[in-house]
Amino acid sequence: MASIVLGIADSARLFGEGAQHSTEPLMTIVDAHERVVSPFDYAVTRGDGIFEATTVWHGTPISLQAHLRRLAHSAALMELPKPNVAEFSRAVDEMIAHYDDPEPGPILRILVSRGLDAETGIGRASDGLPHVWMFLDAQGALHDTDPITLTALNRGYSSDITSRAPWLLNGAKTLSYAVNMAMHRECDRRHVDDAVTTTEDGFVLECPNSSIVAQYGNRLVTPNPNIGILHGTSQRELFSFNQQEGGSWEYATLPFARLLEADHVFMTHGGWVIPVASIDDTKFVVNPDFVQRANDAIHSGRTQEEALQIQPDEGMF
Amino acid sequence: MASIVLGIADSARLFGEGAQHSTEPLMTIVDAHERVVSPFDYAVTRGDGIFEATTVWHGTPISLQAHLRRLAHSAALMELPKPNVAEFSRAVDEMIAHYDDPEPGPILRILVSRGLDAETGIGRASDGLPHVWMFLDAQGALHDTDPITLTALNRGYSSDITSRAPWLLNGAKTLSYAVNMAMHRECDRRHVDDAVTTTEDGFVLECPNSSIVAQYGNRLVTPNPNIGILHGTSQRELFSFNQQEGGSWEYATLPFARLLEADHVFMTHGGWVIPVASIDDTKFVVNPDFVQRANDAIHSGRTQEEALQIQPDEGMF
């Protein structure tokens, strides 16, 4: 039984344009306990890489194309080689073929590092290629849809920082998540489940590893990614669901005070919509029926194609 | 010949109080090409760990006690177990005993991760201990003291953010250095060697992986670490040298405009003082004799004890 599948990519074939015309496997599957990363790897020395994560639901990776397009967007912001989305998709399929645990919704994680650290002797002697590892995991934290409590945490940036300081990498999903982890420890200290981050000038950003969506009547609103946040994959699936149900959606520069006035609030990530019960002292009504139907729609694949078309006016990816 | 020495720590013995009363080696030395890190390690999945780096000069790790105290300070900010500084020192000695390259000044790097990622199945089944790797490297980038050119880069934070948002981990030397690396790519784009970062409100912070020191007459000034930066180890050695030479030193909230008025500017890190020739369009006179004498003093160990006593008024570590 492989309930945790670990794979090392033939990474030369996962970057660049053009089909490789090879039927050789892209992923080498190894025992999940194997230590396959060099301590001289940029992932270890500098957190210098990018990642994506989603749920594989009954064998289908949710929003995979959106995740891989976002991976390519992160790679561009990080000046990494361009991921070949078709080859990454094929690699994910290979991973899934090795999974045979009864759990219907393991987590798929795709990790990309810049390769071996060129400031080290081991890195200098290397081929300089990025490294890619993937795992499918049924034994780690899996999603549930119980209502969660949030606290607001200041991200320390103003809402216009991204255009002024692109080297801050806002909008790239990097392996440098120490701050995101520290935010979760602050949540523990405040006895809440998760956080929503805000700008110095009072606008809503995102959650440390998810997106935030506010509902007003039958309209869904999420912060515009151009504020320097990730473009949510499950958020787009939820927008697609709401559109199919006759509702509407909007990307906005969302004041935090306005978020607190929402009829309902949702956290979205990894193929799941999770209802928010409170943000600090503000309580929200939970609508479990809407949440259930949204998750069922997303997991059925019904929203996926449309979700890929949903984006802010100025375009994204 | 081991010009690159890689060691894996018996990490249970490197944390917590009290002597372990064991003569067993703390470090297991392995071939430098061995892949000793799990892809489920927090260092890989989240850049969730801390590090230190310094030069080992003719067998003596420069400012080691200051580095290990700073490691302990980073661990506290990150809510990691408390490093046992005495045991870490002993582990470093073991590393150095395995080095026998003619290069007199290899780099020592100490990497600490939170351990295996508790959100993964592999992490859940683990002992939850931090992991420690060290390497000594004579084949990677080594320091030189040629004058360097800098550019100023906005770090996006205001000067009072640290007390308001400690979860941003300003002042901790974490493994999440993707932004620091992006700053160096921006330097390449601007055809300069390195950067000095500034706050939104116009104060000086630090360099992406070093400290900045301004000289006015015989007084040395560096930004106070309470602004949310690392407390420089080589900066303290330089302050100590200047004090021994009859000069003075100061920790200040330093306006960027005031930095540009300095007589001389230095970048300090890893046991070296490096003269700064320019910050963007502002040129500085380089004083190679002072730099040479400062580096000689630091490398001789003459400044080390005194440097440990140098700190801002409010104390640090």
Asked whether residue B108 falls in the same domain as residue B164, the answer is no
d(CA B128, CA B132): 13
Asked whether residue B73 falls in the same domain as residue B116, the answer is yes
Asked whether residue B131 falls in the same domain as residue B173, the answer is no
Nearest to A70 by CA among A298, A242, A308: A308
Residue A124 dihedral angles phi and psi, to the nearest 5°: -60, -30
Asked whether residue A114 falls in the same domain as residue A207, the answer is no
Q: Looking at chain B from residue 173 to 202, which residues have their Cβ under 8 Å from any Cβ of chain A?
A: 174-183, 185-186, 200
Asked whether residue B43 falls in the same domain as residue B188, the answer is no
List the structure tokens of B256. 């960027």
Asked whether residue B176 falls in the same domain as residue B32, the answer is no
Answer for the pair A168, A181: CB distance below 8 angstroms, yes or no.
no
Q: C-alpha distances in angstroms, A316 versus A112, A253, A310, A312, B138?
A: 21, 16, 9, 7, 44
Q: Given an 8 Å threshold on Cβ–Cβ distance, is A176 in contact with B177? A: yes
Q: Looking at chain A from residue 120 to 159, which residues have their Cβ under 8 Å from any Cβ of chain B?
A: 120-125, 133, 135, 137-141, 153-158
Q: C-alpha distances in angstroms, A168 versus A288, B48, B157, B177, B185?
A: 38, 18, 11, 11, 12
**Number of CB pairs < 8 Å for A and B?**
226
d(CA A124, CA A118): 5
Residue B299 to chain A, least CA–CA distance (Å):
22
Length of chain A: 317
Nearest to A192 by CA among A281, A257, A274: A281
B315 is a domain residue: no
Give the 3-state secondary structure percentages of chain B, helix then strand then coil, rounded to 5: 30, 30, 40
Domain boundary among B90, B108, B137: B137
Sequence-distant (6+) residues with CB within 8 A of A135 are A4, A5, A6, A7, A32, A95, A108, A109, B39, B40, B120
Low-confidence ranges of chain B (pLDDT < 70): 1, 18-21, 315-317
B312 is a domain residue: no
- Mapped onto helix, strand or coil, the DSSP state of residue A133 is strand
Nearest to A135 by CA among A45, A52, A50, A58: A52
List the structure tokens of B49. 């760990």
Buried b (16+ CB within 10 A) or exposed e, B145-178: eebbbbbbbbbbbbbebbeebebbbbbbbbbbbb
Q: What is the pLDDT of residue A17?
A: 74
Nearest to A33 by CA among B9, B41, B30: B41
Asked whether residue B11 falls in the same domain as residue B78, the answer is yes
Residue B295 to chain A, least CA–CA distance (Å):
22
Nearest to B245 by CA among B308, B305, B300, B297: B297
Which of B176, B210, B269 to probe by mutation at the A interface, max A CB count within 10 Å?
Answer: B176
Q: What is the pLDDT of residue A132?
A: 98
Q: Taking CB atoms and an 8 Å cutoff, what residues of chain A touch B49? A: 178
Q: Where are the alpha helices (DSSP H) in A29-177?
A: 42-46, 64-77, 85-97, 121-124, 161-164
Length of chain B: 317
Question: Is this prediction's ipTM beyond 0.90?
Answer: yes
Low-confidence ranges of chain A (pLDDT < 50): none
B42 is a domain residue: yes
Q: What is the pLDDT of residue A59?
A: 97
Nearest to A222 by CA among A186, A192, A187, A196: A196
Give the 3-state secondary structure percentages of chain A, helix then strand then coil, rounded to 5: 30, 30, 40
CB of B99 within 8 Å of any CB in chain A?
A: no
Q: Taking CB atoms and an 8 Å cutoff, what residues of chain A touch B141? A: 119-120
Q: What is the pLDDT of residue B104?
A: 96
A142 is a domain residue: no
Domain boundary among B118, B137, B156: B137
A312 is a domain residue: no
Q: Return the amino acid letter for A273.
A: V
Q: What is the pLDDT of residue B307?
A: 97
Asked whether residue A175 falls in the same domain as residue A258, the answer is yes
Asked whether residue B11 falls in the same domain as residue B31, the answer is yes
List the structure tokens of B259. 């930095």
d(CA B48, CA B45): 8
Residue B179 to chain A, least CA–CA distance (Å):
5
A79 is a domain residue: yes
The residues facing A132 across adjacent strands are A112
Q: What is the pLDDT of residue B21?
A: 66
Asked whether residue B116 falls in the same domain as residue B203, the answer is no
d(CA B20, CA A119): 35
State how many domains chain A has: 2
Asked whether residue B201 falls in the same domain as residue B258, the answer is yes
Residue B290, H or E segment: helix B288-300
Supply the range of the domain harboring residue B63.
4-137
- Give the β-pairing of A148-154 and A272-279: parallel
Q: What is the pLDDT of residue A50?
A: 98
Q: Looking at chain B from residue 4 to 33, which residues have their Cβ under 8 Å from any Cβ of chain A?
A: 4, 6, 32-33
Q: What is the pLDDT of residue A22?
A: 77
CATH of the domain at B111: 3.30.470.10
B164 is a domain residue: yes
Q: Taking CB atoms and an 8 Å cutoff, what residues of chain A touch B33? A: 38, 122
Asked whether residue A108 falls in the same domain as residue A179, the answer is no
Q: C-alpha distances in angstroms, A298 versus A99, A291, A295, B163?
A: 21, 11, 5, 41
Q: What is the pLDDT of residue B2?
A: 84
Domain boundary among B81, B108, B137: B137
CATH of the domain at A262: 3.20.10.10
Answer for the pair B61, B54: CB distance below 8 angstroms, yes or no.
yes
A292 is a domain residue: yes
The beta-carbon neighbor of B176 closest among A41, A178, A183 is A178
